[in-house]
């Protein structure tokens, strides 16, 4: 015969697993958003800064 504690745990197990999956999904989503922001930031920096590496020569 199972103890009352084991019964209580079994009843809440499915809900806990759903909460854990939701937590992992939110974490992965946050990491994805962070990576997209980082790519956007670097793209902006490179786009605005590439002209600093252009060399012009004027002959007098």
- The whole-number mean pLDDT for each consecutive block of 10 residues of the chain, a chain of 60 residues, reads 78 91 98 98 93 86
Indicate the number of domains in the chain.
1
Indicate whether 23 belongs to any domain.
Answer: yes
What is the value of pTM for the model shown? Answer: 0.67
Cα 6 from Cα 19, distance rounded (Å) = 20
Q: Which residues contact 59 (CB under 8 A, 6 or more apart)?
A: none
d(CA 60, CA 22): 68
Task: Evaluate whether residue 10 is within a structural domain.
Answer: yes
d(CA 34, CA 37): 5
Show the domain range for 23: 4-50
19 in a structural domain: yes
**pLDDT for residue 35:** 98
């Amino acid at each position: 015969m199972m103890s009352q504690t084991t019964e209580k745990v079994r009843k809440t197990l499915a809900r806990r697993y759903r909460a854990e999956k939701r937590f992992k999904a939110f974490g992965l989503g946050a990491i994805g958003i962070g990576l997209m922001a980082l790519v956007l930031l670097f793209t902006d920096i490179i786009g605005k800064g590439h002209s600093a590496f252009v060399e012009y020569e004027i002959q007098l």
